[in-house]
Amino acid sequence: QQASQQSQPERVSQQATKRGEIALAVRKRVRRLMWERVGILRSRQTLERALREFEQIARASLRIPSRNFLTVATIIARAALWREESRGAHFRLDFPQRDDARWRVHSIIRDGAEISASETIDFSEEVGSRTPDVSKTSGLTSDA
C-alpha cells in the first residue's frame, strides 16, 4: 500500500515501529561503544573516540529513553577520561597505576559543568534532593 492509501492507525503503527527500531539501534550502538571503547581496558584515545561518537549520535532526534541512555553513557565516559589512573576493575592503558595521592576522591558531575572532585559527600542534609552537598569540593589533590 502507498502512504496516501494507508489508514491513520496503519501510519501510526509504522511510525511507532520505526521509532522502536531507531531506539533499538541507538541502544545497540551505545552498548557496543561502551564495551569496545569505555570498557574495562580503556585509554584517552578510546575514550575520546567514544565521546565523539556519542556526540554524533546525540545530534539525532532521539526520544527521551534513548537520550537518557546516551546521557548516562556519556557521563561514564567523561568520568573515565577525567580519572587518570587505574582503579579496581577499570584499567587505563595509559595510566596503569593506582594513584591514591591524587585520585582517592569522589567524581562529581553536574549538568553543564566540568567534573570536580570531593573527598566526602554529605547526603544527610539533602534528603529528598537529587543533588548531594559538595561544599567540601576540592581540587584533585587529597591527603588520604
Amino acid sitting at position 93: L
Q: Between 122 and 28, whose confidence is greater? A: 28
What pLDDT score was predicted for residue 73?
A: 97
What's the CA gap between 22 and 18, in Å, rounded? Answer: 6
> H or E segment at 117?
strand 116-118
Number of residues that this document lists for the chain: 144
Per DSSP, the residues of 23-57 read HHHHHHHHHHHHHHHSSSEE-HHHHHHHHHHHHHH
pTM: 0.70
Under 8 Å between Cβ of 52 and 90: no
pLDDT digits (tens, 9 = 90+) for 97-126: 998 888 888 888 877 778 888 888 877 755
